[in-house]
């Protein structure tokens, strides 16, 4: 039924600022930009990681619900090689601690921040991710 992650959608009141922030964080420009009916930027999308997953950032005006005034929503964890280093970089870039790095046992470490636009961004060291990646590379 669920075949894989296709797009993670974040919302931002200031999409231009969010585009700049994520471009700096990821070290790459969005590969797709869409403008709204008024001509202003309405959506940007980045492809990232080993599987080229999509991170889309949408102008909050187009949210299908009223955005929360605080961090909300599901936490999607992106695999990173060094949770502490990435967590510190995110904080240095203006994100706010949501959940400090926690060792979950058996090699799993998670952390999350609230980005400057109110979205929760999770990072995780996940040995299973590396196992699956390795199996695809061997095939």
Q: pLDDT by residue (tens digit) across 13-72? A: 999 999 999 999 999 999 999 999 999 999 999 999 999 999 999 999 988 887 677 776
Q: What pLDDT is recorded for position 67?
A: 64
- 1-62 sits in which CATH class? alpha beta
Residues 6+ apart with CB under 8 A from 125: 79, 80, 81, 82, 83, 107, 108, 109
Residues 97-135: pLDDT tens digits?
999 999 999 999 999 999 999 999 999 999 999 999 999
Residue 76 pLDDT greater than 70, yes or no: yes
Reported pTM: 0.87
Burial 61-90 (b: 16+ CB within 10 A, else e): eeeeeebeeebeeeebbbbbeebeebbeeb
**Same topology between domain 1-62 and domain 71-139:** yes
**Cα 5–28–121 angle (5° rounding)?**
45
Q: What pLDDT is recorded for position 74?
A: 77
Q: What pLDDT is recorded for position 126?
A: 95
- Could you name the CATH architecture of 71-139? Roll (3.10)
Residues 6+ apart with CB under 8 A from 62: 36, 42, 43
For the chain, domain boundaries: 1-62, 71-139
């Amino acid at each position: 039924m669920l075949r894989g992650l296709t797009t993670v959608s974040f919302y931002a009141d200031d999409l231009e600022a969010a585009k700049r922030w994520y471009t700096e964080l990821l070290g790459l420009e969005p590969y797709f930009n869409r403008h709204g009916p008024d001509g202003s930027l309405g959506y940007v999308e980045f492809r990232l990681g080993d599987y080229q997953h999509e991170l889309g950032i949408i102008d909050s005006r187009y949210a299908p619900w009223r955005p929360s005034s605080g961090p909300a929503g599901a936490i999607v964890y992106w695999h990173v090689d060094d949770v502490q280093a990435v967590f510190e970089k995110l904080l240095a870039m203006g994100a706010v601690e949501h959940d400090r790095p926690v060792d979950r046992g058996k090699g799993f470490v998670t952390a999350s921040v609230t980005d400057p636009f109110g979205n929760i961004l999770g990072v995780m060291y996940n040995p299973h991710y590396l196992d699956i990646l390795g199996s695809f590379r061997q095939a």
